[in-house]
Amino acid sequence: MQLKDKVAFITGAASGIGKEIAIVYAKEGAKIVIADLNKAAADAAAAELVATGAQAIGVAVDVTSEEQVDAAVAEAARAFDGIDILVSNAGIQIVHPIDEFSFADWKKMLAIHLDGAFLTTRACLKHMYAQGRGGSVIYMGSVHSKEASVLKAPYVTAKHGLIGLCKTVAKEGAKHGVRANVICPGFVRTPLVEKQIPEQAKTLGITEEQVVKNVMLKETVDGEFTTTDDVAQVALMFAAFPTNALTGQSLVVSHGWFMQ
């Protein structure tokens, strides 16, 4: 029970990586807030956890909305007596060559990934600082926090930006015992990635199989996808680590696609 009675606010936790982190944290005794744009899916994911004996609620939130983030974090803190862990994970992908990228899509990407990270951080830090029991902030970066790929300009830009935010939170949060770290996964077969396979095949003029083999997994050491559980185990380590010794870091979990 590495997270006994810790309250974890996890964005985008109705699906994919966030959902798996919620499952792993719940097994370790955390009280889970599934914060997602998709309220029905958030409630369903929370109900699945409750059925296993865990404490969990679903809350509706669009992480790009200041009002909604503040309200959702306040609701979560009221329900479970504060916030100990933030996993800022909600994200989407839009792929186009830069010369064809619409400004609206660029802004949408930065809003979800960067505004969302800032707004949830600000709202949760207020609780963590006031509670005086420390805390852990975890950002879902990507190998694209370190590397670029074609067609992903705003995603790569935003994921690099999260590292700057993380380092600043690590410095400001230290005196409150609040740590901040970034997880940088390689490709994980979630709905976000399933959607990209046919899109990239079309844009690059290759088959879906070739996208997986020659684009997504080309640089890995073994041609394997990273799994949601691989990422969730790293999220557990960051959440449970007890001191400021491990803060301001970004850890790549990608089957060796990117080596630091």
Residue 196 C-beta: closest distance to ligand NAD, Å: 8
Asked if 129 is an active-site residue, the reply is: no
Cα distance between residue 167 and residue 134, in whole Å: 17
14 binds ligand NAD, rule: CB under 6 A: yes
* Two structure tokens written together for 133: 């029991």
Options 36-44, 71-79, 170-178, 241-249: segment touching ligand NAD (CB under 6 A)? 36-44
Options 23-31, 33-41, 165-173, 232-240: segment touching ligand NAD (CB under 6 A)? 33-41
67 burial via Cβ count (<10 Å: 0-12, 13-18, 19+)? exposed
DSSP codes of every residue in 1-46: -TTTT-EEEEETTTSHHHHHHHHHHHHTT-EEEEEES-HHHHHHHH
Pairing of strands 249-253, 178-185: parallel
193 binds ligand NAD, rule: CB under 6 A: yes
Residue labelled with tokens 């003029």: 205
190 binds ligand NAD, rule: CB under 6 A: yes
Using the rule CB under 6 A, which residue among 112, 114, 215, 217 binds ligand NAD? 112
Looking at the Cβ atoms of 64 and 247, the one nearer to ligand NAD is 64
SS3 category, 220 = coil
One-letter amino acid for residue 103 of the chain: F
Looking at the Cβ atoms of 61 and 211, the one nearer to ligand NAD is 61
User: Which residues in 117-146 contact ligand NAD (CB under 6 A)?
Assistant: 140, 142
Q: How far is CA 212 from the centre of its chain?
A: 22
Using the rule CB under 6 A, which residue among 91, 154, 161, 248 binds ligand NAD? 91
Residue 101 C-beta: closest distance to ligand NAD, Å: 17
148 binds ligand NAD, rule: CB under 6 A: no
- Secondary structure (H, E, C), 182-210: EEEECCECCHHHHHHHHHHHHHHCCCHHH
Looking at the Cβ atoms of 5 and 208, the one nearer to ligand NAD is 208
Residue 169 C-beta: closest distance to ligand NAD, Å: 17
Sheet of 135-140: strands edge to edge? 56-60, 31-36, 7-11, 85-88, 135-140, 178-185, 249-253
Residues that bind ligand NAD (CB under 6 A): 11-12, 14-18, 36-38, 61-64, 89-92, 112, 140, 142, 185, 187-188, 190-193
Please identify every residue annotated as catalytic: 155
